[in-house]
Amino acid sequence: MVMPFHDGLIVHTQSHDYPIVITEQSATEQSATEHSSMAKQIMPYISGLQVLIVTNDTVAPLYLKALEDELAGQFVVKVCVLPDGEQYKNQASIDQIYDALMTEHFNRDVTLIALGGGVIGDMTGFAAASFMRGVNFIQIPTTLLSQVDSSVGGKTGINHPQGKNMIGAFWQPQMVLADMSTLKTLPARELSAGVAEIIKYALIMDEAFLTWLEANLPAMMALDLAVLGEAVKRCCQYKADVVAQDERESGVRALLNFGHTFGHVIETHEGYGNWLHGEAVAAGMVQAAELSQKIGWLTDDEVVRIKRVLELANLPITPPAIGVDTALNLMGHDKKVKHGQIRLILLKSIGDAVMTNEFDSQLLHEVLSKHSA
């Protein structure tokens, strides 16, 4: 079934505009109906004859065959299967993608297809941005997190041992195809991680959406695909609006980083993959909320409300023990640092976020030391 709500989601960027198509259909079936299979949906956005599908060894057994077989009827299709995990979001994996492209003698006509979660999407996008100075790619996000956030907006890249996403490029896909039915195989912990980014949108830009989430989270956690689809649509719309205003994060886009300066510290310090990105963002959003409260912006009740909604989604609200100096050192790598000063996304109230460096460093120290080693 193609859901009605996919209509009209277009991301406008300086490089090009592209659609986000949200469907619910069996991703494993090569259905005979005109618009139903993943392959049929993406075919109009493949301009040349060469296709490289990039996926991982968890997603491949689930969703690769149907896509590969159907595309092979019309294109030269090759596959690059990477090892699964945030710890493989690195240059060695990018090299594996380049090797596959070179071995097949693929050229600028190639379209890369990212079939997987945010890790696969970020790396495939970065390989596409850099191979022969830039080729086309398509996002087929198969996790909730990648459907609501990472597949949209063109941030691509890999981690450095000292910092998240430190090497990368802005490179927009030709389209995004989010098939909600892929969520049926997603582990519960990964579903929660995706909800963290959904809650982020509510906290930074729409208090009414938070109220909606509070009412609908039980259905989302129970994998009600219609409700999840509505959440995906809303988040994609928020992100598309922000990216259209500020593709390369010189202003408003930075608000999407709420919780991430703290969260990236957790991911890097704990070892990539040990805390899921969404989990680290959840705990990071609590730290950012606590600082916002200390400044006098958020009320105690608002902080309690934020923690409660995260807990409703089975997300952590307490960071691991990290020394304050260690945390500050890692925060120093944040991409929002300007003139040597850390800039954070904080909340004036729920639904109203700002980027600021105007906070007493003692208050930041207090937030970090609350759970320090």
Ligand X SMILES: O=C(O)C(=O)C[C@@H](O)[C@H](O)[C@H](O)COP(=O)(O)O
Ligand Y SMILES: NC(=O)c1ccc[n+]([C@@H]2O[C@H](COP(=O)([O-])OP(=O)(O)OC[C@H]3O[C@@H](n4cnc5c(N)ncnc54)[C@H](O)[C@@H]3O)[C@@H](O)[C@H]2O)c1
Residue with Cβ nearer ligand Y (68 or 302) = 68
Compute how many other C-beta atoms are within 10 angstroms of the C-beta atom of residue 80: 23
Give the contact letters, 46-85, x = binds to ligand X (CB under 6 A), - = no.
----------------------------------------
Of 165, 151, 147, which Cα lies nearest the Cα of 113? 151
The helix or strand, by DSSP H or E, that contains position 347, with its residue range, turns out to be: strand 344-349
Q: Which is nearer to ligand X, 77 or 213 (CB)?
A: 213
Enumerate residues 120-149 that contact ligand X by CB under 6 A.
149
Is 301 marked within a binding site?
no
Tokens of 58: 């968890």
Could you say whether residue 89 binds ligand X (CB under 6 A)? no
The helix (run of H) or strand (run of E) holding residue 141 is strand 136-141
Considering the complex, state which of residue 256 and residue 364 has its C-beta at the smaller distance from ligand Y. 256
Is 269 annotated to bind a ligand? Reply is no
Does 197 interact with ligand X (rule: CB under 6 A)? yes
Spatial contact of 266 and 280, defined as CB atoms under 8 Å apart:
yes
What is the helix, strand, coil percentage profile of the chain, to 5?
Answer: 50, 20, 30
Beta carbon nearer to ligand X, 312 or 337: 337
> Which residues, 6+ apart, have CB-to-CB distance to 61 below 8 Å?
none
Give the pairing type, strands 76-82 and 50-56: parallel
Query: How many CA atoms, within 13 angstroms, populate the side-chain half-sphere of residue 79?
Result: 19
First to last CA, the chain: 51
Q: Are 372 and 327 in contact (CB under 8 A)?
A: yes
C-beta of 234: minimal distance to ligand X in Å? 15
Report what 120 binds from ligand Y, ligand X, none; CB cut-off 5-8 Å by kind.
ligand Y
Residue 242 near residue 256, CB atoms below 8 Å: yes
Q: Is 34 a catalytic residue?
A: no
Question: Is 318 assigned a ligand-binding role in the annotation?
Answer: no
Residues lying near ligand Y in the complex (CB under 6 A) are found at 56, 58-59, 62, 84, 86, 89, 116-120, 122, 142-143, 145-146, 149-150, 153, 155, 164-165, 182, 185-186, 190, 193, 277-278
CB atoms inside a 10 Å sphere around CB 96: 18
Q: Does 333 bind ligand X (CB under 6 A)?
A: no
Considering the complex, what minimum distance in angstroms separates the CB of residue 75 from ligand Y? 23
| 35 is a catalytic site residue | no
Q: Could you say which of ligand X, ligand Y, none residue 335 binds, taking C-beta under 5 to 8 angstroms by partner kind? A: ligand X
Q: Which residues of the shown chain bind ligand X in the complex (CB under 6 A)?
A: 149, 153, 155, 164-165, 197, 249, 253, 256-257, 260, 335
Residues marked active site are found at 133, 155, 197, 239, 249, 253, 257, 260, 264, 277
- Residues at the binding site for NAD(+) are 84-89, 118-122, 142-143, 155, 164, 182-185
